[in-house]
């Protein structure tokens, strides 16, 4: 706030309805607390609400990576070539990239209207369903050989997948990270969460070709679909809604 309390009140009044004095006092206390003490990993481990919040953000990063987005980034052309799609892999890759951009833009528009939790649920349900569909397609390709009648399916499925990813699980874990931690432990929590994200990114990227070599494409996508379905259950039972809630209210929900 840089000491400008009146400007802070004006900014907060734009995004809140009703009395904001209590929240201003809380925010001012949080800023003073942050200046007075910088938290470490010990603070996250010792405090129950911080520990649970870290579990949520780190788990969401695991779910984000088990959507197999790294696979869709590094191996997209290989996936289309393996699928014997009726559309060329190069054109399909361009279409997929453009579609994801619109999915991410849609997320910024809808996140404050619909809330974080509904978008995360819808996103993970759609990504897991897309992965199941891809698994079935590749299984049919192996068992039947000729699937030219549904050669359009991989592209259609991946378009839905990319929109769903950009709409929720691709961006909202970072949003939640910025909302559920007090200022004095936020930097440490961010570091833990980012480390989790990149570690899972590496593991998933390396795991995909191993699964394909060991069994086939259908098994790899089935594996990630099951992991993503577990993510749906996690979001449903564990992830809180943060839309329109103060930091104190969010922290208390973890206690």
The residue whose two tokens read 């992991």 is 227
CA distance 220 to 176: 29
Q: Which of 226, 113, 107 is nearest to 172 (CA)?
A: 107
CA distance 192 to 54: 8
pTM of the entire predicted model: 0.80
What is the sign, positive or negative, of the torsion defined by CA atoms of 254, 58, 125, 97?
positive
Average pLDDT over residues 220-239: 95
Q: Which of 250, 254, 255, 239 is nearest to 30 (CA)?
A: 250
Q: Enter the tokens of residue 130.
A: 């897309």
Asked if residue 131 lies in contact with residue 221, where contact means CB atoms within 8 angstroms, the answer is yes
Q: What is the CA radius of gyration of the chain?
A: 21
Average pLDDT over residues 82-91: 75
Domain ranges of the chain: 37-253
The per-residue pLDDT for range 94-151, each reduced to its tens digit, is: 787 777 777 777 777 777 788 889 999 999 999 999 999 999 999 999 998 777 788 8
Q: What is 37-253's CATH number?
A: 1.20.1250.20
Helices 172-179 and 116-144 sit at what angle, rounded to 10 degrees?
150
Band of pLDDT at residue 184, cut at 50, 70 and 90: confident
Band of pLDDT at residue 171, cut at 50, 70 and 90: confident
- Determine the pLDDT at residue 18: 65
Buried b or exposed e, range 221-237, using 16+ CB within 10 angstroms: bbbbbebbbebbebbee
Alpha-carbon distances, residue 158 vs 87, 100, 101, 117, 176 (angstroms): 13, 10, 13, 23, 26
pLDDT, the chain, mean: 84
Beta carbons within 10 angstroms of residue 194's beta carbon: 15
Band of pLDDT at residue 1, cut at 50, 70 and 90: very low
Asked if residue 253 lies in contact with residue 240, where contact means CB atoms within 8 angstroms, the answer is yes
């Amino acid at each position: 706030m840089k000491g400008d309390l009146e400007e802070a009140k004006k900014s907060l009044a734009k995004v809140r309805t009703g009395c904001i004095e209590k929240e201003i006092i809380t925010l001012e206390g949080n800023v003073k607390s942050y200046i007075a003490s910088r938290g470490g990993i010990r603070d996250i481990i010792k405090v129950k609400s911080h520990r649970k919040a870290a579990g949520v953000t780190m788990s969401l990063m695991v779910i984000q990576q088990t959507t197999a987005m790294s696979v869709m980034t590094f191996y997209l052309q290989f996936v289309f070539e393996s699928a014997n799609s009726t559309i060329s892999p190069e054109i399909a890759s361009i279409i997929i990239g453009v579609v994801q951009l619109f999915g991410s833009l849609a997320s910024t528009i809808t996140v404050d209207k619909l809330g974080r939790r509904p978008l995360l649920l819808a996103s993970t349900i759609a990504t897991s369903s897309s992965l199941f569909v891809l698994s079935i397609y590749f299984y049919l390709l192996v068992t039947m050989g000729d699937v030219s009648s549904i050669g359009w399916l991989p592209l259609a499925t991946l378009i839905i997948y990319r929109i769903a990813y950009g709409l929720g699980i691709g961006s909202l874990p970072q949003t939640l990270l910025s909302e559920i931690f007090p200022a004095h432990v936020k930097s440490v929590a961010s570091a833990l969460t980012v480390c989790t994200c990149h570690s899972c990114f590496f593991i998933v990227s390396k795991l995909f070709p191993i699964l394909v070599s060991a069994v086939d494409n259908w098994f790899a996508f089935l594996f990630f679909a099951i992991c993503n379905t577990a993510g749906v259950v996690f979001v449903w039972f564990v992830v809180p809604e943060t839309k329109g809630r103060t930091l104190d209210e969010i922290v208390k929900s973890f206690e």
